[in-house]
Structure 1
Amino acid sequence: MRRFLSNIHWGDKLIDILVVVLGITIAFALNNWRENRQNAKLEQQYLRNLKEDLVKDSVGLDYSISHADEIFFSIERIQRLAGQSSNADSIYVYLGAIGDDNLLIFKPEDYSYSTMQQTGNITLIETDSIRRNLSQLYDTYELLEMQTDFAFKYQFDRLFTYYYNYDFQSQTTVDDQMYLTSNFRNTIRFYSSNLKERRRLMREALLKIRSLLHSIDQELDE
Structure 2
Amino acid sequence: MKNINWLDHIANLLVVILGISIAFYLESYKEEASNKQQELKYLESMITDLESDVEALDTLLIINEDISESLINLSMASVGRPYGTDSALMFQTLKIQYNPPFSPQRTTYESLKASGKMDLINDFELRNSIVDLYEQFYRGTNEYDAAINEHVRDFIKPYYMKNVRFTGAQSIDPSFLSNNEFRNMIFAYRYLFVAKDNFYRTVKQQADSLKSELITYQSGFN
Tell me, yes or no, whether TM beats 0.5. Answer: yes
- Structure-1 residue corresponding to 2:217: 219
Partner of 1:158: 155
Partner of 2:181: 183
What is aligned with 1:167? 166
Give distance in 2, aligned partners of 1:189 and 1:110.
34
Identity across matched positions, percent:
23
Corresponding residue number in structure 2 for 1:205: 203
Q: Which residue of 1 aligns with 2:139?
A: 142
Question: Given the alignment, which residue of 79, 89, 100 partners 2:75?
Answer: 79
Q: Which amino acid aligns with 2:74?
A: I
Shift of 1:132: 0.9
Instruction: Provide the TM-score with structure 2 as the length reference.
Output: 0.88
Q: Which amino acid is 1:187 matched to?
A: M
Number of aligned positions between the proteins:
215
Given that 1:92 and 1:163 are in contact with CA atoms closer than 8 Å, whether structure 2 keeps it comes out as no
The two structures have a TM-score, normalised by structure 1, of: 0.88
Q: Distance in 2 between matches of 1:118 and 1:74?
A: 42
1:100 aligns to what SS in structure 2? coil
Q: Quote the Cα distance in structure 2 between the aligned partners of 1:67 and 1:77.
A: 16
Mapped to 1, the partners of 2:169 and 2:17 lie a distance apart of 94
User: Is residue 82–residue 179 contact of structure 1 (8 Å, CA) maintained in 2?
Assistant: yes
Please report how far the alpha carbon of residue 170 of structure 1 lies from its aligned counterpart in structure 2 after TM superposition.
7.3
Rounded Cα–Cα distance in structure 2 between residues aligned with 1:28 and 1:198: 54
For structure 1, list consecutive stretches of 5 or more residues without a partner in the other structure: none
Name the structure 1 match of 2:57: 61
Higher helix share: 1
Structure 1: distance between partners of 2:81 and 2:210: 51
Q: Structure 1 residues 169, 95: closer, same or farther in 2, change over 3 A?
A: closer
For the aligned residues, what is the CA RMSD? 2.2
CA contact (8 A) 2:54 2:207 kept: yes
| 1:85–1:180 CA contact under 8 A, matched in 2 | no
**Aligned partners of 2:129, 2:7: CA distance in 1, in Å?**
58
8 Å Cα contact 2:133/2:206 also seen in 1: yes
Structure showing greater radius of gyration is: 1
